[in-house]
Amino acid sequence: MKVTHQGQSQHYRTVWFDPARNRVRLIEQRLLPHKFKIVSTADFRETARAITDMIVRGAGAIGATAAYGLAQGARAFRGRGLKAFERHLAKVYRTLAEARPTAVDPVSAMRGMLAQMTDETVGKRQEQALAAARQFADDDVAHCEALGQHGEPLIHNGSRVLTHCNAGWLAFVDVGSATAPMYAAQAKKKSFHVYCDETRPRSQGAILTAWELAQQGISHDIIADNAAGHLMQRGEIDLVIVGSDRTLGRTGEVANKIGTYTKAVLAKRHGIPFYVAIPLSTIDWELESGQAIPIEERNEDEVLSAWGVTPGGRRQKVRLANPGSKARNPAFDVTPPELITGIITPFGIFKPRQLWKHRVKLGHTTSGC
């Protein structure tokens, strides 16, 4: 997407690779919307920390970051022999896969890469690693563009759309998932309005989605997380579109940012269509129940404190909560299929329980029941 920074507009991807320096390049999302900065990671461990610390976040973006991190680790190998290389690569894989356990995109990306690294020499496998990582990133962009084409007809002139967290281009390599239909509708000159849940505790909606929409000139308001039900009750929301960090292909259950389940319950209560937009890499074809999805529990400090910017422009952390109180901080929840109107994929919109029926079309290649 184009970003206007210091008076100049330039197209950026969220993540890309610098082969000359063997570094992963990232937009530092924790500083937005107050500062736009590009950072680099020097090795695969730093790349994993960038995922864990949420320098980069969002399903497709961390998938591509993990892919580039695997290539980065492969290219850094200085030992001898395929066996030693494979042991090294297994360590790189584990480090990156464990960085954010709920999301499936990093594992999907790296498994796909390993399947393509089949040459008999280390040098060729290193080349194949980078080529496969770049292909994953390009596929992520193509999938998101297709989501926009399929989801755009859901948005009409005058539509009021609610979205939760950030499933925009910052959460992917480009374009985004939940925002893709919005950008496609804007390209068709449709007039609509977006409500961005603030999405505590890290406020990705207020910080990232609102910044994105402002950059693209889309009409929007930030609302408190608890305001959505009130607006639905008053007939001020027509449609909900969210993203997903893991969608189960067997059941249609959706793991997404904490609070998504609540919005789905509210939408069902008020008869409002609730859609989930996903690239193929977000589908988990293996797990058989949402109860088996590992739900990341992040540091309680994210709930008890908040970051902001002082009038002088200095970034500052402040304590919000009662001194001495503790907090729970689950980062994701699971929405059951009966609350979901449809899942927007690069190949069309499906009912949640139809994913398994259409699994071959949706990229599932492993045999099994």
pLDDT by 10s per residue, the chain, length 369: 889 877 888 999 999 999 999 999 999 999 999 999 999 999 999 999 999 999 999 999 999 999 999 999 999 999 999 999 999 999 999 999 999 999 899 999 999 999 999 999 999 999 999 999 999 999 999 999 999 999 999 999 999 999 999 999 999 999 999 999 999 999 999 999 999 999 999 999 999 999 999 999 999 999 999 999 999 999 999 999 999 999 999 999 999 999 999 999 999 999 999 999 999 999 999 999 999 999 999 999 999 999 999 998 889 999 999 999 999 999 999 999 999 999 999 999 999 999 999 999 998 976 443
How much is the pLDDT for 4? 86
Write b or e for each residue in 109-141: b if 16 or more Cβ atoms lie within 10 A of its Cβ, otherwise e: bbebbbeebeeeebeebbbbbbebbbebbebbb
- The C-alpha atoms of residue 340 and residue 337 are separated, in whole angstroms, by 5
How much is the pLDDT for 369? 34
Question: Alpha-carbon dihedral of residues 35, 36, 41, 44, nearest 10 degrees?
Answer: 100
Write b or e for each residue in 142-173: b if 16 or more Cβ atoms lie within 10 A of its Cβ, otherwise e: ebbebbbebbbebbeeebbbbbbbbbbbbbbb
Pairing mode, if any, of strands 160-163 and 8-11? Answer: unpaired
Domains of the chain, residue spans? 2-144, 148-354
Q: Which two tokens stand for residue 184?
A: 């496609």
- The C-alpha atoms of residue 201 and residue 97 are separated, in whole angstroms, by 24
Domain 148-354 grouped into CATH 1.10.510.10:
no
Radius of gyration, alpha carbons of the chain = 20
User: Mind telling me the catalytic residues?
Assistant: 245
- The C-alpha atoms of residue 294 and residue 264 are separated, in whole angstroms, by 20
Per the DSSP assignment, residues forming a β-bridge with 338 are none
> Do 2-144 and 148-354 have matching folds?
no
Fill in the DSSP letter of residue 120.
Answer: S
Question: What sign does the CA torsion over 232, 236, 238, 241 have?
Answer: negative
Architecture of the CATH domain 2-144: Up-down Bundle (1.20)
How much is the pLDDT for 366? 61
Angle formed at CA 65 by CA 284 and CA 210, multiple of 5 degrees: 90
Residue by residue, DSSP assigns 208-250 as: IIHHHHHHHT--EEEE-GGGHHHHHHTT---EEEE--SEEETT
336: left (phi over 0), alpha (psi -120 to 50) or beta: beta
- The C-alpha atoms of residue 13 and residue 91 are separated, in whole angstroms, by 28
